[in-house]
Amino acid sequence: MINPMLSFMQLCDSNFPSGAFSHSFGLETYIYEGSIYDAGTFEAAMRMYMSNQMAYTDALACRLAYEAIEQEQFGRVIELDILLLALSLPKETREGTRRIGERMAKLCMDLYDSPLIRQYYEAIRRKEVSGHPSIVFALAAHHLQADKTEAIAAHLFSGVHSLIQNAVRAIPLGQTDGQRILLSLQPLIQEIADRAEQMAEDELGMSMPGLEVAQMRHEQLPVRLFMS
Amino acid sequence: MSMTGTLRLKAVCRDEKTVVADTYFDGAFKVARPVYFQENEPTVYSLHVGGGYVGGDRYHTDVVLEENARLTLTTQSAAKVYKTPDEPVYQSMNIQLAKNSVFLYMPDPLIAYEQARFQQETVIRMEKGATLLYSDSMTPGWSKSGRPFRYEWIRSRVKIYEDGVLQAYDHLFLKPDAGDLLSLMQMEGCTHVGSLFIVSPLLQAGWKEEVGDLFQSYSEQARIGFSELKNGGCTIRILANASHVIEEIVLQCTNWMRGKLNQEAVALRKY
């Protein structure tokens, strides 16, 4: 049996080729416009992003997917994927999430001998679903017999980690600043992972209007480091 | 569950003329006789006769457009939501659009006052080939303290299905108490939020440039984002500090679409 902790370290490693390093999910708009410009403004933005966007989309989606897999209801995984795609209104964010989801699904299928991951990837190939990283993470975590809340925390960590890495490059910030922010956001990651358990299913995808506008406006930025 | 207000509208097209074939209203909802700004294409104004929404109120609207029917639905004044001490106000709307029908929906803003809780659920089911323009906007009402955002929360869910497939799901939740609603990523210093969805076979490649041009003159008054839905439709989100700014932008978009529909431009607002 594989130790789930070691597997999480592999899945959350910045070298894990999910493609997340190409996406800022709207943060680049704020960097370009000057409202995120140093470690302090970035960390404050991350806290807002995590407490809302990541909490009600990534964390809740990961929990719902994990529970559907546990209850052997693959149909609900498919429904969740369709909801998540429709909830993502800005095109670049939707496309970026889809690409990362598909790459992760392919990788996890190649790494793990899991019939469910294979089934999900084949559904992506047949275009029945689009692929979502939170669903792939839940599938992988369940296959590795990892605890649900720990899986949600690891999934959040990997998203936070790659956004910080991107901010270090884009703002730019010092490597130590990046690591310090990653450390100071860890209690919030745990808090959101715990809170996901109490969320109602129909709270899925609650969005913030300003972030959506920033994600949409990214399409028109004259200079871009990231695809979203 | 008894309803505070119910409205049902059905528009059919007979010999190139759309008529409102079936109108039903009950309780606090009423509709005036259709107005024909455009020959053959009615505009319906709905109104709330109670003066405002209060706690526990429940409203439901059904709109059906048959093949080739063209209808514009708007309101006579803003929906004011007052204090809801026990139960929130709940409003639902179902819209069904058959092939080649055209439905434009431009309500006045929703104004949520101190301690108001409001939830709306909108489901749009359209056949491919139909045209939808759906807009709405939300704003905090005046409060005794003079501070904005004294309402408790507003939740709005809009789902758009085309040929049975979910194409867009907008889930907006504004809760002033949870963190700073005026901050970055939330309302970003603005009090008003407006949303617009357009799904239509008339949206051709290049619509983004056209929409971008429409918004040029509003860059000082509003922060606007627009993007493409997965079915090629258009989604627009507007942040501003005044209702009239959002209304003007929505009206610009509406008249831009009316141009594509060979309809004349209108100014629907009543004040």
Q: How confident is the model at residue B111 (pLDDT cuts 50, 70, 90)?
A: very high
User: Under an 8 A CB cutoff, do B166 and A86 touch?
Assistant: yes
Q: Can you give the three-state secondary structure of A165-196, one letter per residue?
A: HHHHHHCCCCHHHHHHHHHHCHHHHHHHHHHH
User: Under an 8 A CB cutoff, do B185 and A215 touch?
Assistant: no
Within 8 A of A91 by CB-CB distance, chain B residues are: 227-229
Q: What distance in Å separates residue A9's CA from the closest CA in chain B? A: 30
The H-or-E segment that residue A84 falls in is: helix A74-87
Question: Taking all residues of chain B, what is their mean pLDDT, rounded to a whole number?
Answer: 94
User: Under an 8 A CB cutoff, do A30 and B212 touch?
Assistant: no
Which tokens is A202 given?
Answer: 């129909």
Cα A49 to Cα B120: distance, rounded to the nearest angstrom: 24
According to the model, what pLDDT value does residue B107 have? 96
User: Under an 8 A CB cutoff, do B223 and A51 touch?
Assistant: no
Within 8 A of B226 by CB-CB distance, chain A residues are: 216
Cα B52 to Cα B54: distance, rounded to the nearest angstrom: 7
pLDDT over 90 at B179, yes or no: no
User: Under an 8 A CB cutoff, do B227 and A208 touch?
Assistant: no
According to the model, what pLDDT value does residue B269 have? 60
pLDDT over 90 at A33, yes or no: yes
Q: How confident is the model at residue B88 (pLDDT cuts 50, 70, 90)?
A: very high
Within 8 A of B159 by CB-CB distance, chain A residues are: 86
The residue type at B100: N
pLDDT digits (tens, 9 = 90+) for A34-78: 999 999 999 999 999 999 999 999 999 999 999 999 999 999 999
Q: How confident is the model at residue A226 (pLDDT cuts 50, 70, 90)?
A: very high
User: Under an 8 A CB cutoff, do B168 and A89 touch?
Assistant: yes
Cα B206 to Cα B133: distance, rounded to the nearest angstrom: 18
| B125 touching A (Cβ < 8 Å) | no
For domain A32-212, the CATH superfamily is: Urease accessory protein UreF (1.10.4190.10)
Best to test chain B binding among A89, A92, A97 (most B CBs inside 10 Å): A89
Q: What distance in Å separates residue B212's CA from the closest CA in chain A? A: 10
Percent of chain B with pLDDT over 90: 86
CB < 8 Å & 24+ apart, contacts of A118-127: A119/A74, A120/A77, A123/A78, A123/A81
The H-or-E segment that residue A10 falls in is: helix A4-11
Average pLDDT rounded to a whole number, residues B93-104:
98
Q: How confident is the model at residue A25 (pLDDT cuts 50, 70, 90)?
A: very high
According to the model, what pLDDT value does residue A1 have? 65
Average pLDDT rounded to a whole number, residues A5-30:
94
Q: How confident is the model at residue B143 (pLDDT cuts 50, 70, 90)?
A: confident
Q: How confident is the model at residue B60 (pLDDT cuts 50, 70, 90)?
A: very high
| B205 touching A (Cβ < 8 Å) | no
Average pLDDT rounded to a whole number, residues A15-33:
95
pLDDT digits (tens, 9 = 90+) for A189-200: 999 999 999 999
User: Under an 8 A CB cutoff, do B225 and A44 touch?
Assistant: no
Average pLDDT rounded to a whole number, residues A74-85:
98
| B186 touching A (Cβ < 8 Å) | yes
Question: Taking all residues of chain A, what is their mean pLDDT, rounded to a whole number?
Answer: 97
Average pLDDT rounded to a whole number, residues A16-30:
96
Indicate the SS3 state at residue B50: coil
Facing A30 at nearest CB: one of B168, B184, B212: B184
Identify whether the C-beta of residue A75 lies closer than 8 Å to the C-beta of residue A123.
no
Q: How confident is the model at residue A132 (pLDDT cuts 50, 70, 90)?
A: very high
Domain residue ranges in chain A = 32-212
According to the model, what pLDDT value does residue B24 have? 95
Facing B171 at nearest CB: one of A87, A90, A92: A87
Q: Which residues pair with B89 in a beta bridge?
A: B118
Q: How confident is the model at residue B121 (pLDDT cuts 50, 70, 90)?
A: very high
According to the model, what pLDDT value does residue B148 have? 76
Within 8 A of B174 by CB-CB distance, chain A residues are: 209
According to the model, what pLDDT value does residue A192 have? 98
According to the model, what pLDDT value does residue B1 have? 66
Pairwise pLDDT comparison (B266 vs A210), residue with the higher score:
A210
Instruction: Say how many CA atoms lie within 13 Å of A117 toward its Cβ.
Output: 25
According to the model, what pLDDT value does residue B265 have? 87
Average pLDDT rounded to a whole number, residues B194-208:
96
User: Under an 8 A CB cutoff, do A89 and B239 touch?
Assistant: no
According to the model, what pLDDT value does residue B51 have? 81
| B142 touching A (Cβ < 8 Å) | no
Which of B33-62 are b and which e, b meaning 16 or more Cβ less than 10 Å from the residue's Cβ?
ebeeebeebbbbbbebeeebbbbebbbbbb
Label residue A153 exposed, middle or buried (CB < 10 Å: 0-12, 13-18, 19+): buried
Q: How many CB atoms lie within 10 A of CB B244?
A: 14
User: Under an 8 A CB cutoff, do A207 and B172 touch?
Assistant: yes
Average pLDDT rounded to a whole number, residues B237-251:
95
Within 8 A of B179 by CB-CB distance, chain A residues are: 48, 51-52
pLDDT digits (tens, 9 = 90+) for A136-189: 999 999 999 999 999 999 999 999 999 999 999 999 999 999 999 999 999 999
Facing A209 at nearest CB: one of B168, B179, B239: B239
CA distances A32 to A27, A40, A164, A220, B228, Å, are 9, 16, 16, 11, 22
Pairwise pLDDT comparison (A14 vs B256), residue with the higher score:
B256
